[in-house]
Amino acid sequence: MITKRIDDTSVSIIPEESDDLFTLRRVIRKGDRLIGDTTRVIKQEKDFSRPDKGERVNIRVALDVEKISIDEVVDRLRVQGTIVESDSESVRKGSHHSMTLKIGEAVTLVKNRWNEIDKKLIFEKTEHGNFLLVGIDTSDCGLGRLSGTHLKLIPNLYSGASGKRYKSKFNIEEFFKDVSGGISSLIRDGDTIVIFGPGETKRRLSNFLPDVPVLKSHKIQVIEGIDSSGEDGIYTFIKSEIMKQTLTTSKMAKVSSIIDEVMLRANKKSKKFTMGFEETRNANDVGAVEALIFSDKIFEQHDEDMIIEFINQAESKGVQVYAVDSTTDAGLRVSSLGGIISLLRFSIQG
């Protein structure tokens, strides 16, 4: 998340990842003010125009927040409120409006009072590392960007090497050019390129990429032990022990380790874990929670505002809090365990 403090009450924010939108959901509250670009249908008032027709125009508004919610699409937040300022004379102050917050789009958040959890979430930078994952073989290549615990994939790239008419003409460097183009479209500053797959193709690609101008500054890691390529290879890597060992700084590695520890404790009949909201809330009430993971599934099962209040309260007590979504196996696992799990410092009886 890119942030710039404007004054004591205002900060400019550009969410860069899905995790940033989860953070904004936890920070923005009723009574705050959001300033940003949006669209609105302006009713036509010309003679003979149909009263139900209008033109959708781009406007900039200041919105007093009344309600905020996670959209069905994880990469968006929906904010509803009252317009208090607008750069369009056609937009009436005091009218209700819904603004959608998206990755890469700047907004300004104004609060009368910034509490400690808000300051921590917005201003404290936690470096988890972001990774461009490449699962490659001579026949195909899968590309995905792992940012926090969110995975964005693009469709597999195919070399054509397996087709009969390509056997005598196949040039691996032409395939590598296609792959490097795909990498360039996904990668961002600071990303580490992680390459894996069967055979030696991954090493040949790692030698090819430093010659691509836009990729010169990126660190490249070649990983052994993943014997599949394409999307299947990426999913295999994310679920593997190898991922936790090699991407130790990643948020995904930390989350996967917590989930595995919860399952281990469950198998050992330990009481030092929770699954589901009620268990986790009860444990947090007595200060037992050490770390918790929640998925977007939890908002389908319980009141969203109540969950956000609980999560913020837990983090204010020093609990490590992680959000996951259904783009990865970790998110699906947490969703299947009640949408929220935790590790406990001590056992809870009952």
Backbone angles phi, psi at 126, to 5 degrees: -115, 115
**Residue 306: both structure tokens together:** 């109540």
Q: Along the chain (350 residues), what's the average pLDDT of each consecutive run of 10 residues? A: 90 87 92 90 60 72 92 79 86 87 92 91 78 95 91 90 56 92 92 95 95 93 95 94 88 92 94 95 95 91 92 94 88 93 87
Instruction: From 249, 246, 251, 250, select the one nearest 223 (Cα to Cα).
Output: 246
pTM of the model: 0.81
The reported pLDDT for the residue numbered 28 is 94
Instruction: From 342, 335, 345, 348, select the one nearest 291 (Cα to Cα).
Output: 342
The reported pLDDT for the residue numbered 178 is 94
Q: Positive or negative, the Cα torsion across 94, 75, 8, 35?
A: negative
User: Could you tell me which CATH number the domain at 2-123 has?
Assistant: 2.30.30.870
Q: Residues 84-128: pLDDT tens digits?
A: 988 877 778 888 889 999 888 999 999 999 999 999 999 887 666
User: Could you tell me which CATH number the domain at 251-344 has?
Assistant: 3.30.1330.30
The reported pLDDT for the residue numbered 165 is 45
151 contacts: CB under 8 Å, gap ≥ 6:
144, 145, 234, 238, 327, 328
How many residues does this entry show for the chain? 350
The reported pLDDT for the residue numbered 53 is 61
Task: Give the integer Cα–Cα distance in Å for 220 and 5.
Answer: 34
Burial 232-246 (b: 16+ CB within 10 A, else e): ebbbbbbebeebbeb
The reported pLDDT for the residue numbered 48 is 55
The reported pLDDT for the residue numbered 343 is 97
Superfamily name and number for 130-246 = eRF1 domain 2 (3.30.420.60)
- Give me the residue spans of the domains in the chain: 2-123, 130-246, 251-344
Q: Which helix (H) or strand (E) holds 306?
A: helix 304-316
The reported pLDDT for the residue numbered 190 is 87
Task: Give the integer Cα–Cα distance in Å for 24 and 77.
Answer: 8
Backbone angles phi, psi at 173, to 5 degrees: -70, -30
DSSP annotation of 267 reads H
Amino acid at 349: Q
